[in-house]
Amino acid sequence: MISDVTSVAALWGAVILSGFYHGINPGMGWPLAVSAALMERRHAAMPWVLAMLATGHFLAMVGILLPLSLMLFLVDWEVQIRVGAGLLVIVMGVYLLVNRRHPKILARVHPARLALWSFLAAMAHGAGLMLVPIYLGICAIGDEETGHLAARTLMGSNIMTAFGVAAIHTLAMTFAGGLIAITIYIWLGLKFLSKTWFNLDLVWAISLIVVGVFGIHSARFSH
């Protein structure tokens, strides 16, 4: 029992930490909040941009997790689903390692459509996929009991968990990105941002591969 509680806490902690990680990454949009506030010369522009970015990111997370939550009522195939998901995350990481170009579709989105831009950015960078092994691990906790529940009950529980993971992850991402944006806006300014830009694309791709390997390992050895 204590082991299960520890595992649950660790996985939810990973949801929060991955949110911080996404929030720190400039590719998820916090520089847009800084530039909007500086260009419009008003503080209110920043929370509005952050809210739009959070909305798009949340929808992207749900869009990835929800189909898996509908599949997980197939308890007999749980290990295969988790291994397949882990392989998918690894493939995405390898693709981003090989293809280092910034997705062109993001440059075609109108600047006012921030939620759409955030949704597409999260999808293009595999942000939702990074959550999949963590989410599947949470759903697997206590499957000795859930395996005997009705499929509808289990599916409903997994759907609520998917929304919960997406919401908590997005809150953590918005907090981290917002904190950086506020710090730069109030104290450092756009000139500092242009001189100190950091790129996490390589680290991001490697992170996907590591998370995918973790997902496969936990699926194979947690039973």
* Selection from 40, 36, 39, 38 nearest residue 50 by Cα: 36
The amino acid present at 82, given as its one-letter code, is R
Cα–Cα distance between 34 and 220 in angstroms, integer?
Answer: 44
What pTM did the predictor assign?
Answer: 0.81
Question: What local confidence, expressed as pLDDT, does residue 223 receive?
Answer: 52
Question: What local confidence, expressed as pLDDT, does residue 161 receive?
Answer: 87
List, run by run, the mean pLDDT of 10-residue segments along the chain (223 residues).
64 91 87 83 86 95 87 66 85 84 69 85 87 83 47 63 93 94 78 62 83 80 61
How much of the chain is in helix, strand and coil states, percent to nearest 5? 85, 0, 15
As given in the structure block, the two tokens for residue 179 are 């904190």
Distance of CA 28 to the CA centre of its chain: 10
CB atoms within 10 A of CB 42: 11
Question: What local confidence, expressed as pLDDT, does residue 191 receive?
Answer: 65
Question: What local confidence, expressed as pLDDT, does residue 110 receive?
Answer: 73
Residue 175, CA distances (Å) to 36, 214, 216 in order: 17, 26, 30
Question: What local confidence, expressed as pLDDT, does residue 202 receive?
Answer: 77
The amino acid present at 7, given as its one-letter code, is S
Dihedral (C-alpha) 213, 214, 219, 223: value to the nearest 10 degrees? 130
Question: What local confidence, expressed as pLDDT, does residue 148 receive?
Answer: 43
Count how many domains the chain has: 1
- Residue matched to tokens 């990074």: 130
Decide if 135 contacts 162 (C-beta within 8 A): yes
Question: What local confidence, expressed as pLDDT, does residue 45 receive?
Answer: 85
Please report which helix (H) or strand (E) contains residue 84, including its range: helix 78-98
Q: Which domain holds residue 198?
A: 2-221
User: Does residue 197 come out as left (phi exceeding 0), alpha (psi in the -120 to 50 range) or beta?
Assistant: beta
Decide if 181 contacts 50 (C-beta within 8 A): yes
Helix axes 127-140, 114-124, angle to 10 degrees: 70
